Each structure stands twice: as structure tokens, then as C-alpha cells.
Amino acid sequence: MRYHVYAVLIQDVKDLIGQSNIIVCHTLRERNHCADFFAKLGANSDTELLYHYSHPDDLLNLLRMGAVGTLYSRE
């Protein structure tokens, strides 16, 4: 293939970021439990692309813990 399957979607995200006052920085999955949650959810899915129109229920607790600054030891 000449282009990535999601090239248009990726470019749309880049355009939206470029139009806003947003900074994107890399964080290891182990430090971002919400990203880790979605990575594991995707790895266990047979679907190529899944849109979430509302948050998965299991994500709320991770968001709450992140908001209060809960720290975890690295295993």
C-alpha cells in the first residue's frame, strides 16, 4: 500500500491539533493508565477500528485516580 490505512484520520487529528493551542507529548503506557486500558482493550478486540461514543465504564475509576494524582510503583 502506498498510504497507511488510517492516513486521512491521522492527518485530520494533526490538523485539529495544529488549529488549537494543544501540545502532544509522549508518555510511556505504564505511566498513563487510561492509554494502557485502551491499548489492552484494542489488543483483545477483533475489530480493526472501534469508535467509542461514550466512555467504557471501567475507565471512570482510572480517570478518577489520575485526577487525584494516585502514584503507582513500577513493577
The boundaries of the domain holding residue 16 are: 7-67
Percent of the chain with pLDDT over 90: 5
H, E, C per residue of the chain:
CCCCCCHHHHHHHHHHHHHCCCCCCCCCHHHCHHHHHHHHHHHCCCCCCCCCCCCCCCHHHHHHHHHCCCCCCCC
Is residue 72 included in any domain, yes or no? no
Is residue 2 included in any domain, yes or no? no
Is residue 57 included in any domain, yes or no? yes
Residue 17 pLDDT > 80, yes or no? yes
Residue 29 pLDDT > 80, yes or no? no
pLDDT digits (tens, 9 = 90+) for 56-67: 888 998 888 878
pLDDT interval class at 11 (50, 70, 90) = very high
Is residue 38 included in any domain, yes or no? yes
Is residue 1 included in any domain, yes or no? no
Is residue 75 included in any domain, yes or no? no
